[in-house]
Amino acid sequence: AGSGKFFVGGNWKCNGTKDSISKLISDLNSAKLEPDVDVVVAPPFVYIDQVKNSITDRIEISAQNSWVGKGGAFTGEISVEQLKDLGSKWVILGHSERRHVIGEKDEFIGKKAAYALSEGLGVIACIGELLEEREAGKTFDVLFQQLKAYADVVPSWDNIVIAYEPVWAIGTGKVASPEQAQEVHVALRDWLKNNVSAEVASKTRIIYGGSVNGANSSELAKKEDIDGFLVGGASLKGPEFATIVNSVT
């Protein structure tokens, strides 16, 4: 962990029912969480209101996506204005499932980030390379291009957390080694230094995501440039998620 405040987000993805979420919230509400960590959970849109109304104020709410501009005639979409109305403080954008399953492109994701930030939401800006891109030696090219798509349009970096999530590690049980993650985080920080500013490079939190669990989080958290985690599967279990939150050293 670096000098910024440790940040742990739980991405619940398209999981849960009113009952299972109520149980998860009660586990989170009774968990002991290290005070010096930002803790955020991202429920499916339809449960944000339920979560906001029953979860401790200690934990902030994120959405998993948002519409690219002001709400209106966009059937099936959810606007930033509506997310704020429900009490969301954050939105996850550019998640690999949206990039590779749904087909969202860099430019569209960048625009979503710029709009959400302009309306006061924090953005968890995801980037990550596919296994074939890593094997072809293209990891940094891919990541820098994804990062540039945000950098080209965002009004400021004050409210952005970068989530490095190698696609080969998401939901596969194949976590990046602490060294692999650290190497990428350093490269991302260098890119920010050279292309945005030294201040943004040192202040922006870069979190890791991809098969983080209660057993591997503390080794990862020891690395100087890993400022937290974005957790999928393991965030659906309250006690394990708390263990990950508390893994900061």
For the CB of residue 233, give the shortest distance to ligand PEP in the complex, in Å. Answer: 4
Residue number, 206 or 231, with CB nearest to ligand PEP: 231
Residues that bind ligand PEP (CB under 6 A): 11, 165, 170-171, 209-212, 230-234
We find the least distance from the C-beta atom of residue 157 to ligand PEP, in angstroms, to be: 21
Nearer to ligand PEP, 35 or 173 (CB): 173
Q: How far apart are CA 7 and CA 162, in angstroms?
A: 10
Torsion of CA 129, 126, 164, 174, to 10 degrees: -60
**Contact yes or no for 78/88 (Cβ under 8 A):** no
**95 a catalytic residue:** yes
In residues, how long is the chain?
249
Q: Counting beta carbons within 10 angstroms of the beta carbon of residue 185, is it exposed (0 to 12), middle (13 to 18) or buried (19 or more)? A: buried
Q: Which residue is nearest to ligand PEP (CB)?
A: 232
Question: Which pair of structure tokens corresponds to residue 53?
Answer: 């109304």
User: Minimum distance from CB of 97 to ligand PEP (Å)?
Assistant: 7
Residue of 97, 129, 133, 165 with catalytic role: 165
Residue type, 191: W
Q: How far is the CB of 40 from ligand PEP (least distance, A)?
A: 12
- Catalytic pick among 60, 95, 97, 240: 95
Structure tokens at 204: 């922006």
Give the C-alpha separation, 193 to 190, whole Å: 5
Judged by beta carbon, residue 97 or residue 225, the one nearer ligand PEP is 97
Question: In angstroms, what is the minimal distance from the CB of 31 to ligand PEP?
Answer: 18
How far is the first Cα of the chain from the last one, in angstroms, to the nearest whole number? 7
What residue type is assigned to position 195 of the chain? N
10 Å CB burial of residue 39 (0-12, 13-18, 19+) is buried
Cβ closer to ligand PEP: 20 or 194? 20
* Smaller CB separation from ligand PEP, 80 or 124: 124
Residues annotated as part of the active site: 95, 165
